[in-house]
Each structure stands twice: as structure tokens, then as C-alpha cells.
Structure 1
């Protein structure tokens, strides 16, 4: 059995496996791997979308599942030297408290060293803020309602909801169709999952879908590009 820390009673606070790994009590799924979470982010979401090579002023990234902000901060590091702006929009239904985010990010010293401005903004209740070249907008609420109402498009998508087996709503065919509808021509997606129904949903929505090598012990991930319409 793993020891759990129930000291923070906020309804969106995670439990802490071995005092290190934040686990969603709502979805019974960890937010990341402590052993290689940052490397996995870089392998799956950045490299899976051809980043940082594609980053340029005006580039637009969108994400399903903000979580601890690890993907955002890894992207911020990848933007070093870029004048910006790079737009980063994330859709999150159950935001974590700032104290839990700070505790989670402490697992990754490279990211933690860059996290203070984000943590101050988050603790102040800000969900739209600027970090260097990154213009961040975290859209609160159920993505099934907020994504259809979004008035922009992404050049790259990070699909990072909890496991499709635990959180199928964030991977439904209807939502994958909305992802495609909000993708710029030639835009891309990447995700850690290779679940068949997710891949089919993305393919039916208009993406070319490639099963690629996953990170660490995960054999496969998925990535792809929006196909040109005829």
C-alpha cells in the first residue's frame, strides 16, 4: 500500500503517492511520472508536435488538461531566445490549488526554477497571464462546453487528459472533432495514449494518425497532422 497525504482538503487537491506523485482522486490517475515526467513531456508533446523547431512568433498551442502546468513550463523553456509571442491556451475543468502545483513541480528542478511567476499568478487567481514570450490563457470548465465556444485555432495540440479508461469524456469522438475544428491548416496533435477509440476518433475527425514509440515503459504514443481538405 502507498501512503497517502490527506492534509489538504480542497476538493481538487490530489492525493500524494509516496509523498511525491500527485494522483487525481476524481480520476484515480497520476498527473505525471516522478521518475521521468519532464522527459516524457518533451518526448510526447514537444517532439511529437515537431517542437521547438516550429516555434515562431504568433505560434498557437492548445492543450486539453492543464494539470500542474508542467507541459506549459516545458514549453516556456523551449521558447528561450524566442521574441514571442507564443500563445498557449489550455482547457481545464478541475484546477489544482497553487500549493499542490508548487509541491508537484518541486520534483523537477529545471522547471521549478522557472515556476515562481506562474505560481504567483495562479495563487492570485489569474488564469490569463504572460510568462516571457508565452501568453497563457487557461480556460476553466468542461472542455465539451468550452472548446466549441473557443474563437481561435491551434497550430499544435497537447492532448493530455487523464487516461482514456479513467476519463473517457475528454477523449470522445465529438470532442476530437472539436479539436480538429479548432486546428489550423497543417496543424498537429500529440498524445501519450495509443488507445484505439482515441486514434479512430482523431482519424475520423480528419487527422492523419501515426502510432509512434512512447516514452520510457510506454510502448506507443500517437501523433498526427490535420489532413488538407479537398
Structure 2
């Protein structure tokens, strides 16, 4: 397992930027709105939620995507528990996570629970979070779970191509239930082709903010 932490600088004192990948962790426009548009909307959530629904993510980052999904789960009044698994190569220190999440008062209560739990794998009353540290190219093939929905949220494919390669997209497909879905903010051609080659039916959808397009995918 890698023992490497995220290396950060702060833009406008509030937006964390990875110095390793020269890319912000969330939209400079509105990270919460972007997550709702791309990852919830792109996977037809919360409409598909049910007890035990399993979201799996490439790139945990600040934990904002988890909190957004958890908040949507609660707002939808779904009985049971949401399962959320995330693969993260460079975990963020919990203090930096807390600082970043302070920008989103709408999820402040849930963020406080995540921070209090150390920012990693935790069982909450209605959500189970598992954060798997290390290079997803090594850890995902060894994982024995299956996703109902994928949040593909690595840093930009141009700056972090390792997290978007065809071999990894094949592993994403192998760890997806029949008719499971995936969504990502990027519409990069090689990403879409990798998903298609892995067995997904891929469509392009309107992106968030300044991004013209995003990608939605359904297995099969």
C-alpha cells in the first residue's frame, strides 16, 4: 500500500489544488452543484437508490462526492444503508479535508461526522464508507465488490492518464452489476472509447459550468 499523502496548495484560500497533478479537487464554480449534476444526475440518482445500493468511486479527494450522495440518500428518505467505496492513491489529511469542506455549508453536518471519524472508512447509521488506499490499477483488480453506480472522478485525463486507461476501465466494468452505470465530468475521446471497449454503452451529455460535455455509461 502506498504511504503517500495529497500535496496541496489553496486557491483563494478555499479551493484545494493538487500540486502533483496541477488540478483542483472540485469545480471553481460550485463543487457541490457539479457533483450533483455529474455524479448524481449522470447515474440517475437518487431515483435508483435502494437499501444496499453501492456507489464506487475512483478518487475520494475531499470526500465531497460521498457527502453529496449521502445527503441525497437522506433527502430521498430511503430505508436501509448506502454503501460507498472509494479508491484513493493520495489520501488527504483530515485537517485539509475539513478546511475544503467548509466551503459547503449545505453538507456541514455530514462533513462534521466524516471529519470526526478521521476522514476514512467508517460505518455511519445509514451509510457505510470504505476508502481503499493505493493505486487503483493495483487495488481494484483485487477487490471483490460490485458497483451499482460509478463516480469516475480522477484528476484530469490529460494530467492523470493512469486513472483513465483502457485496462482500468475494463476493471470498472468487471466490478459493475448488469445494467449498472458510470458517470464522469470528462468527455475525452480515449476515456469514452475505453468504456465502450469494456462493454458500456456510452453517451455524451451536457457538462457542468464551463465544461460543454460529460460522459454517461450503462453496462451492456
* TM-score, normalising length: structure 2: 0.95
Who is 1:7 aligned against? none
Q: 1:92 aligns with which of 88, 93, 104?
A: 88
Q: CA RMSD in A?
A: 1.2
1:55 partnered with 2:33 = no
Identify unmatched segments of 5+ residues in structure 1: 1-9
**Contact 1:13/1:100 (8 A) holds in 2:** no
Distance 1:98 1:226 in 2: 35
Q: What's 1:189 paired with?
A: 182
The aligned counterpart of 2:114 is: 118
Structure showing greater Rg: 1
Provide structure 2 residue ranges, at least 5 long, that are not aligned to the other structure.
none
Is the Cα–Cα contact under 8 Å of residues 34 and 107 in structure 1 kept in the other structure? no
Q: Distance in 1 between matches of 2:208 and 2:125?
A: 29
Counterparts of residues 186-225 of structure 1 (less than 5 Å): 186-225=179-218
- Deviations along 1:34-58, whole A, 9 cap, x unmatched? 4311000000000100000000001
- Is the partner of 2:110 in helix, strand or coil? coil
Q: Is the Cα contact below 8 Å between 1:84 and 1:133 reproduced in 2?
A: yes
- What is the Cα deviation at residue 91 of structure 1? 0.2
2: CA distance, partners of 1:104 / 1:65: 15
Q: Distance in 2 between matches of 1:157 and 1:217?
A: 23
Give the Å deviation of 1:13: 3.7
Q: For 1:169, which of 156, 162, 180 is the aligned residue? A: 162
Structure 2 distance, partners of 1:11, 1:206, is 34
8 Å Cα contact 1:52-1:79 kept in structure 2: yes
Number of residue-to-residue matches in the alignment: 215
What is the TM-score normalised by the length of structure 1?
0.91
Structure 1 stretches of 4+ with a deviation exceeding 3 A read none
2:104 is matched with 108
- The more displaced of 76-85 and 140-149 is 76-85
